[in-house]
Amino acid sequence: MANFIDRRLNAKGKSTVNRQRFIERYKKQIKKSVSEAVTRRSVTDIDKGEKISIPTRDISEPIFHQGQGGIRERVHPGNDQFNQGDQIERPKGGGAGEGSGEGEASNTGEGKDEFLFEISNDEYLELLFEDLALPDLQQTNAKQMVEFETYRAGFTNVGVPANINIVRSLRSSHARRIAMTAGKKKQLAELKSKLNELENTPGTQAEIIMDLKQQIEDLQKKIDSVPFIDSFDLRFNNFAKREKPSSQAVMFCLMDVSGSMDQATKDMAKRFYILLYLFLTQTYKNLEVVYIRHHTQAKEVDEHEFFYSQETGGTIVSSALNLMHEIQQERYPADEWNIYAAQASDGDNWADDSPACRQLLAEKILPVSRYFSYIEITRRAHQTLWREYEALQEQFGNIAVQHIKEVNDIYPVFRELFKKQPS
């Protein structure tokens, strides 16, 4: 008789270790795939895993196998038209069954070119932020705006009348009354029964009865003098306040879209925004993103237009800062929202405008912002804007200015921007 075993409850995921080994081994390729995905994904779309594709040749396990050519003879089923001696054109490419040997086709790179699979959201973020040590950042992030909330914190003996807790107050009054009168009541009962006895006994002296009556009266007075409620009994509901980090934040993405910004530069900026977004979502429950692009004029746009439309013309940075300030004033009051801004530019600006930017930042924007980061993506020498911002950096603690030359610089720069700040 066969032996039946139910293995369904055994641990599944016997292959988990092997899967991790695989990911570990191809980390380089997977990371490449992940960083390509960054460009493809929307800034705010970070909640799902990512499809990864690795070129099959990179992960193939080489074996000795036969190549194309030579003389082969293969038998196929389903003959519907051929006779012995028929000549057939050689099919181009991988004709049916003309692969190199049984079951080896995929190993020889004839099959799929890409090995596709999915990694989970966690794996994705982990790979994306691997160099960034995000967990550290979570604890040391920039200052947050603080809100207070009131919450019940038990009961106290002091408080305002409005907060009296009636049930508890009466309960303690009751207890106090019992405690203070119990002995006397017992005594009283004894005296009363004695008096009763004496009154029914003939020949009792009137003085003794009078004395007893007097005692009873005194006791009764004492009992009656215990107050029904005393300030000692009062219990008040206690309310306390605690700090609550504000859970809403707004992130302004400012970008120069003038002719001098090419798509590669924008893609770099986009990664930076994604990083910032991810970083902020770790801290804030409700995060809004406002995209402002500008050339000589600024405009609030949606994400797609932000990254993928090309404009020509000059550059006036202050237009974007102005617009940001207006939007902030109107929709995101500083006492309710944590305000973050990230500006990306190639450093071009109309030279006369740079001092205006500085002034705008110093007077209107920086005082209400948690953090303002400016990244300059360029290989050229810095221009006026950079110098103005640098000057601001000395004056304010919540502005950071960094220079990015190529994609690889983004992580280090981001890390630099959000490194632990001396509080």
Partner 1 sequence: MTTTNNHFTEADSVKKQPLDDGPDWSFSLLETYMEEIEKVAAFYKLDSYPNQIEVITAEQMMDAYAGIGMPIGYTHWSFGKRFIETEQGYRRGQMGLAYEIVINSDPCIAYLMEENTITMQALVMAHASFGHNSFFKNNYLFKTWTDASSIIDYLVFAKNYIHECELKFGVEQVELTLDSCHALMNYGVDRYKRPAEVSFKEEKMRQKDRESYLQSQVNDLWRTVPKNRDEQKHNQQVNFPNEPQENILYFIEKNAPLLEPWQREIVRIVRKMAQYFYPQKQTQVMNEGWATFWHYTILNHMFDEGTVTDRFMLEFLQSHTGVVAQPAYNSPYYSGINPYALGFNMFVDIRRICENPTEEDKKWFPDIAGSDWLTTVTFAMENFKDESFISQYLSPKIIRDFKLFSILDDDSCNKLSVSAIHDDRGYHLIREKLSQQYNLSNIEPNIQVQRVDINGDRSLTLRYVPNKRIPLGGSNEEVLKHLHRLWGFDISLEQVDASGKIIKLSQCPPPSEDSKMTTL
Chain contacts with partner 1 (rule: CB under 8 A):
1-8, 10, 12-15, 17-25, 59-80, 82-90, 96-98, 100-102, 104, 107-108, 115-118
Question: Among 344, 332, 338, 328, which Cα is nearest to 258's?
Answer: 344
- Cβ–Cβ < 8 Å for 209, 215: no
CB of 33 to partner 1, least distance (A): 14
**Measured from the CB atom, is 110 or 409 closer to partner 1?**
110
Task: State which residue, 92 or 379, has the beta carbon closest to partner 1.
Answer: 92
State the minimum distance, in angstroms, from the CB of residue 51 to partner 1.
10
Q: At what angle do helices 317-331 and 353-360 cross, to 10 degrees?
A: 20
Minimal distance, residue 128 CB to partner 1, in Å: 20
Q: Find, among 234, 231, 236, the residue nearest to 159 by Cα.
A: 236
Helix (H) or strand (E) holding 342: strand 338-345
In angstroms, the CA 308 to CA 290 distance is 16
Closer residue to partner 1, CB minimum distance, 89 or 330: 89
Complete DSSP assignment for 163-186: GB-HHHHHHHHHHHHHHHHHHHHH
Nearer to partner 1, 79 or 423 (CB): 79
156 three-state secondary structure: strand
d(C-alpha 237, C-alpha 113), whole Å: 71
- The sign of the dihedral angle between the CA atoms of 310, 312, 317, 319 is negative
Q: Which is nearer to partner 1, 107 or 144 (CB)?
A: 107
- Report in angstroms how near the CB of residue 54 gets to partner 1 at its nearest: 10
CA angle 199–205–211, rounded 5-degree value: 80
Minimal distance, residue 89 CB to partner 1, in Å: 6
Q: Nearest distance from residue 346's CB to partner 1, in Å?
A: 41
Q: Is the CA virtual torsion 413, 414, 415, 417 positive or negative?
A: positive
> Smallest distance from the beta carbon of 91 to partner 1, in angstroms?
8
Q: Which is nearer to partner 1, 13 or 135 (CB)?
A: 13
The residue (of 121 and 310) whose beta carbon lies closer to partner 1 is: 121
- Judge whether 207 and 198 are in contact, CB under 8 Å: no
| Intra-chain end-to-end CA distance of the chain, in Å | 74
Q: Closer to partner 1 by CB, 30 or 137: give it.
A: 30
Closest distance to partner 1 from the beta carbon of 23 (Å): 8
Return the SS3 of 15: coil
Q: If you ran DSSP here, which 8-state letter would residue 343 be given?
A: E
Nearest to residue 295, comparing CAs of 267, 261, 342, 256?
256
**Which of residues 124 and 236 has its CB atom nearest to partner 1 in the complex?**
124
Closest separation in Å from C-beta 103 to partner 1: 8
